[in-house]
C-alpha cells in the first residue's frame, strides 16, 4: 500500500502524517508513507483543502484531521 499525506507543512498536515503512521502501526498494515508538500503536485490530485490523504493513488480524505481510529478504518476497508 502506498500512502501520501498532502499538505504544505502546516501543523494540521504534520498531525495527519503522525496519526497515519500511528494507524498503520496499530492496524499492522505494511505501507510506504510519503509527504507531498509541492502545491502543484497537490493540485494535480484535485485537492483544494489540505491536509489530504491519498491511498494507492486515490484521494480518501481532505480538509480535516481525523482520529487515528478513523484513519485505521479507512485503511482497512
pLDDT of amino acid 9: 87
For 1-77, strand residue ranges (E) read 2-6, 32-36, 52-55, 58-62
- Is residue 72 predicted with pLDDT exceeding 90? yes
> pLDDT, tens digit, for every residue of 8-55?
988 999 999 999 999 999 999 999 999 999 999 999 999 989 999 999
Number of domains in the chain: 1
- Is residue 77 predicted with pLDDT exceeding 90? no
User: Which residues form the catalytic set?
Assistant: 10, 13
- For residue 20, what is the domain's CATH number? 3.40.30.10
Query: How much is the pTM?
Result: 0.91
Q: What angle do CA 62, 41, 70 make, to 5 degrees?
A: 25
Residue 51: asked if its preceding bond is cis (omega within 30°), the reply is yes
pLDDT of amino acid 40: 94
β-sheet bridge partners, residue 36: 6
Amino acid at each position: 500500500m502506498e500512502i501520501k499525506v498532502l499538505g504544505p507543512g502546516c501543523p494540521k498536515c504534520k498531525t495527519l502524517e503522525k496519526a497515519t503512521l500511528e494507524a498503520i502501526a496499530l492496524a499492522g498494515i505494511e505501507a510506504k508513507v510519503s509527504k507531498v508538500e509541492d502545491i502543484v503536485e497537490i493540485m494535480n490530485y484535485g485537492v483544494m483543502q489540505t491536509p489530504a490523504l491519498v491511498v494507492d493513488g486515490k484521494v480518501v480524505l481532505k480538509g480535516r484531521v481525523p482520529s487515528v481510529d478513523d484513519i485505521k478504518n479507512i485503511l482497512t476497508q
